[in-house]
Structure 1
Amino acid sequence: MLEIVVYGGAFNPPHAGHADAIRQLAHVARRILVVPSYRHAFGKDMAPFDLRLSWLRRIVERLAAEGVPVEVDDCERQLAIEQHRPLYSWDLLSHIAAREGLTAREVGFVVGEDNLAALARFHRAEELLRTFPLVLAREQVPLHSTMIRQAAGDGREIEALWLAPGLTPHDYAFFAGASQGRPQGITP
């Protein structure tokens, strides 16, 4: 069993599939750190960091109440500010291992099935995969954040099965109007 697994991502927005992945990780690590991207390495547009962080904290609170050893870690904010460049998985995992006093082999790198194909594009990909154990989160809930953003942007109802514990359809209202060019939560 790994000491820590790091589940990073945009979480733009987080959903039931993310919660399912977190539950899966409880079987491979003593602690699960959910780390939202502050500045995405591939330049994704994302909802504000503090909004995504608040969504994740509500989800994690519910999962922790179920006995899942999970916590939200907002360290990417400080790391991104200090580095003035995109923050890569290598940077994040190295930082967490050093901060926690662990070897790289004790810190798992979580990747969802949807990101397996993109691994070759990751910064220092070969070294990353040799250094940190890869932990695959199986996609058991066929859902992606894009589906929620599109539904909210089109004014469609957010399906109850899409909701992560602790969130409501109202949380996704930020993305309303996205199909007209801009989510309601973003001002010009």
Structure 2
Amino acid sequence: MPHVEKRMQVGLFGGSFNPPHAGHSLVAEIALRSLRLDQLWWIVTPGNPLKAGREIAPLAERIALSEAIATDPRIKVTAFEAAYSVRYTADTLALVRARNPGVDFVWIMGADNLADFHRWQRWREIALTMPIAVIDRPGSTLSFMSSVMAKTFDHARVPERQAGTLAHMRPPAWTFIHGPRSLLSSTAIRAARKG
């Protein structure tokens, strides 16, 4: 895990990044700025249980590609989940909190993941473990409020103007952050490479 100090605000941005692209960088930049983060951990996962059966590039390749596009020095590309044999986000968040007391973490995800968030292993536990920042993605702006997660935790939604203090809030707490959006997607990039 990257080194952090107590009282830092740190964002956790996890994904398979298969491959990483400028849209991921844009989400990271928006999160750093809007959430007033000291660091953002770009967590390259060994695999995604919800995407089993899909072809995935080797972990070392995805790390190298992520490092090449994550140019802000506050972004720390890491793949610590592989070392701890962690498979599910709920376990990742519990591990991170246990090993870094006194650090204020926030989970970051693109709005395109919100529709399926209720299919994640122990998704309610995730929302009760750490504040969540949902970053706008193309095609997801208007549909996010109809998601199971948004309806279930409607009472815990924080106005976007308070995003800079989200990391200090007691979960459940989440916000939706608007901003520039990239049309790039890993799925489309993989499809183009095959074509």
Q: Same fold (TM over 0.5)?
A: yes
Structure 2 CA distance for aligned equivalents of residues 111 and 41 of structure 1: 16
SS at match of 1:47: coil
Matched, 1:37 2:37: no
Counterpart AA for 1:32: L
Which residue of the partner structure matches residue 126 of structure 2?
128
**Aligned-residue RMSD, C-alpha:** 1.7
Report deviation, 1:2: 7.0
What is residue 47 of structure 1 aligned with on the other side? 57
Q: Which residue identity does 1:18 align to in structure 2?
A: H
* CA distance in 1 between partners of 2:8 and 2:56 (Å): 30
Q: Structure 1 stretches (4+) deviating beyond 6 angstroms?
A: none
> Per-residue displacement from partner, 1:50-76 (whole Å, max 9, x unpaired)?
10011111122x232xxxx21111201
Aligned to 2:115: 117
- Conservation of the 8 A alpha-carbon contact between 1:8 and 1:36: yes
**In 1, Cα distance between equivalents of 2:59 and 2:187:** 17
Between structure 1 and structure 2, the one with the greater Rg is 1
Mapped pair 1:75 → 2:93 = no
Q: Partners in 2 of 1:102 and 1:38 — Cα distance?
A: 27
SS of aligned partner of 1:108: strand
What SS class does the counterpart of residue 49 from structure 2 fall into? Answer: coil
Distance 2:102 2:93 in 1: 11
Indicate which of 27, 32, 37 corresponds to 1:26.
Answer: 32
Structure 1 residue 45, shift from structure 2 partner: 3.1
TM-score after normalising by structure 1: 0.70
2-side partners of 1:102 and 1:118: how far apart?
Answer: 31
Letter in 1 for 2:183: P
Matched-pair contact (CA < 8 Å) for 1:2–1:108: no
Aligned-partner Cα distance in 1 for 2:136–2:17: 16
Q: Which residue of 2 aligns with 1:152?
A: 193
The answer to whether structure 1 residue 141 and structure 2 residue 182 are counterparts is yes
Report the Cα distance in structure 2 between the residues aligned to 1:114 and 1:7, rounded to whole angstroms: 14
Displacement of 1:100 in angstroms is 2.0
Identity of aligned residues (%): 26
TM-score, with length taken from structure 2: 0.68
Aligned to 1:174: none
Q: Which residue of 2 aligns with 1:164?
A: none
Question: Which residue in the other structure is 1:63 paired with?
Answer: 72
Q: Once the 2 structures are TM-superposed, how far is the Cα of residue 111 of structure 1 from its aligned partner?
A: 1.3
- Structure 1 letter corresponding to 2:72: L
